[in-house]
Amino acid sequence: MKLSAEIKALQARLGHDFADPRLLKQAVTHSSMSTPTRDDNQRLEFLGDRVLGLVMAEALLEADTGASEGQLAPRFNALVRKETCADVARQIDLGAALKLGRSEMLSGGRRKMALLGDAMEAVIAAVYLDGGFGAAKAMVLRLWGRRIASVEEDARDAKTSLQEWAQARGQKPPAYEQVSRTGPDHAPVFVIEVRLDSGESARAEAGSKRLAEHAAAQALLARVTGA
């Protein structure tokens, strides 16, 4: 079948040649583009989340054979959370290949954390269905590589870390404000701003207030610490 230039380029960045490229096309098709003859990526996202979880659980067990469940759990959560998936999606410019409806495209869908994270999980599922668990595992380990190695630093909750950073400098706890809520009830997009007493602030968007607050805290923490 004929592939667009964007899909071909994405396939090269993934490092997997699809025997059935229709799987990759489905993985990058948002629900705003679904039709009776075109499947979107929601079912693949569901599967990809589970494949990613298994790969990361194995990787963490192999990386630290003496770690307890209590130590492994926050590391695991840091590696599979939507923000991390979205970061990996940006790393491979997955947004350039997304197939979006007009409204999503006009609202900046190619940059939205939730859309990118969901699509990354769907791509993992597409590779799994096309090439098996070994192919999916190899791709995930390559794309997540440095994150796995440094996960201990990323495992702490960003909101807690930002609050501790502020209080250590005599500031009040960070203030979170909902800037906007857009989208339909079944797929809302929240924009949250977090602000410190000293005036520094950051914004982030996500499909829930909790995720948006976490992403905003993560962005501001990186800014004030220079990380």
CA 43, 49, 52 angle in degrees (round to 5)? 135
Exactly one of 40, 45, 49, 193 is catalytic; name it: 49
Exactly one of 83, 87, 121, 213 is catalytic; name it: 121
Identity of residue 157: D
Residues 215 and 112: beta-carbon distance below 8 Å: no
For 189-208, give one letter per residue: b (16+ CB within 10 A) or e: bbbbbbbbeeeebbbbbbbe
49: annotated active-site residue: yes
39: annotated active-site residue: no
Coil, strand or helix: which one is 27? helix
Coil, strand or helix: which one is 59? helix
Catalytic residues: 49, 121
